[in-house]
């Protein structure tokens, strides 16, 4: 790994961590309402710098955040990890297979969906073991995920465009007409 990559991962992870922490402090008006702001950074990392950077950023963010909040290896950490890894993997896979099919908004929606599916599944196996309970909350969780995923996708799109403009780097794989 080149030092530039390391630097880039560190900066992105720091941004992601900051958003993660910011979100943690926000009051939650509706249960199960999570903004998933850190996914914006994952999305930027994925489109601009590739899958391994995105996954590194996610892992660093999840692990550090859990250490800061004292939940490392606890249930909240496992949920966070499963959500983060699944959504990054899903977005990475779609992006690798069909680069031009989805824009940042679509990718963000996929990320949010897989994040929720992974968490609900893990919650079922680890904690709840009541399929009715999971089924009752799933549609609401996924619905909220679609709304936040959409908003995050829009923010990510703006960020990506601005970074591209500033950097002057031409990254062909994101330009579309």
User: Contact residues for another protein (CB under 8 A)?
Assistant: 28-32, 69, 71, 75-76, 79, 100-106, 109-110, 113, 123, 127-130, 132-133, 135-140, 142-143, 146, 150, 153-154, 157-158, 161, 176
* C-alpha span between 36 and 19 (Å, rounded): 9
* C-alpha span between 52 and 8 (Å, rounded): 12
Residue 106 token pair: 């679509």
Closer residue to another protein in complex, CB, 51/150: 150
Closer residue to another protein in complex, CB, 13/117: 117
Closer residue to another protein in complex, CB, 1/25: 25
Smallest gap from Cβ 160 to another protein, in A, equals 10
* C-alpha span between 19 and 163 (Å, rounded): 18
3-state percent breakdown (helix, strand, coil) of the chain, nearest 5: 80, 0, 20
* C-alpha span between 110 and 155 (Å, rounded): 15
Smallest gap from Cβ 152 to another protein, in A, equals 11
Smallest gap from Cβ 154 to another protein, in A, equals 5
Smallest gap from Cβ 1 to another protein, in A, equals 32
């Amino acid at each position: 790994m080149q030092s530039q990559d390391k630097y880039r991962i560190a900066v992105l992870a720091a941004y992601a961590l900051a958003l993660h922490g910011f979100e943690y402090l926000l009051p939650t008006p509706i249960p199960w309402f999570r903004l998933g702001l850190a996914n914006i950074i994952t999305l930027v990392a994925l489109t601009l710098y590739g899958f391994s950077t995105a996954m590194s950023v996610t892992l660093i963010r999840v692990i550090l955040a859990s250490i800061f909040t004292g939940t490392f290896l606890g249930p909240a950490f496992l949920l966070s990890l499963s959500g983060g890894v699944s959504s990054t993997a899903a977005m990475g896979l779609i992006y690798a297979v069909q680069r031009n099919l989805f824009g940042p908004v679509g990718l963000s929606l996929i990320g949010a969906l897989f994040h929720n599916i992974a968490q609900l599944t893990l919650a079922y196996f680890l904690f709840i073991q009541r399929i009715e309970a999971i089924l009752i909350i799933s549609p609401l969780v996924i619905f909220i995920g679609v709304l936040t995923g959409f908003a995050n996708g829009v923010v990510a799109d703006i960020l990506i465009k601005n970074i591209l403009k500033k950097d002057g780097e031409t990254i062909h794989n994101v330009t579309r007409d």
